[in-house]
């Protein structure tokens, strides 16, 4: 019951109830990426993704990003794109977490450089 309520009222937990119905009625599964995201296309050319867990648009790999935006790429030929050793693995968006980037995090320069006049 709780899962059904989550599907109806939240958009950040995978797909919503409306998206699920749209996918069942008019969606054709095109493929799946290494993160488990599923990519669908309708008969009239609309494309969408259903994320495997937390919705984070930065989790879409480059080859699927270009497919979603109707840009020709290697997926048209059903080939895996060439991965080079200098390419890094995906890192999720860490903004707002303790692991977020700050230029002087280790130098303890995060503390205030001024004092408030109210005490």
pLDDT tens for residues 61-109? 877 888 888 887 655 555 566 678 888 877 778 887 888 877 766 655 5
**Is residue 71 domain-resident?**
yes
**Is residue 88 domain-resident?**
yes
pLDDT per position as a tens digit, 1-20: 666 676 666 655 667 777 77
The domain in which residue 29 lies consists of 2-100
**Is residue 35 domain-resident?**
yes
**Is residue 45 domain-resident?**
yes
**Is residue 66 domain-resident?**
yes
Q: Residue 50 in contact with residue 16, Cβ under 8 Å?
A: no
Q: Residue 32 in contact with residue 75, Cβ under 8 Å?
A: no
**Is residue 73 domain-resident?**
yes
DSSP state letters, the chain: -HHHHHHHH-SSBS--HHHHHHHHHH-EEEEE-TT--EEEE-TTS-EEEE-SSB--GGGS-HHHHHHHTT---GGGGT-PPP--TTPPPP----TTSTT---TTGGGTTTS-SS--S--
pTM: 0.60
Count of domains for the chain: 1
């Amino acid at each position: 019951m709780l899962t059904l309520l989550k599907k109806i009222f939240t958009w950040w937990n995978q797909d919503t109830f409306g998206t699920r119905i749209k996918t069942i009625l008019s969606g054709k599964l095109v493929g799946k990426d290494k993160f488990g995201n599923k990519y669908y296309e309708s008969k009239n050319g609309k494309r969408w993704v259903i994320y495997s867990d937390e919705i984070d648009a930065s989790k879409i790999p480059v080859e699927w990003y270009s497919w979603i935006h109707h840009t020709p790429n290697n997926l048209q030929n059903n080939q895996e794109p060439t991965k080079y050793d200098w390419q890094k693995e995906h890192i999720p968006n860490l903004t707002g977490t303790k692991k977020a980037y700050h230029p002087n995090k280790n130098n303890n320069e995060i503390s205030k450089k001024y004092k408030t006049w109210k005490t």
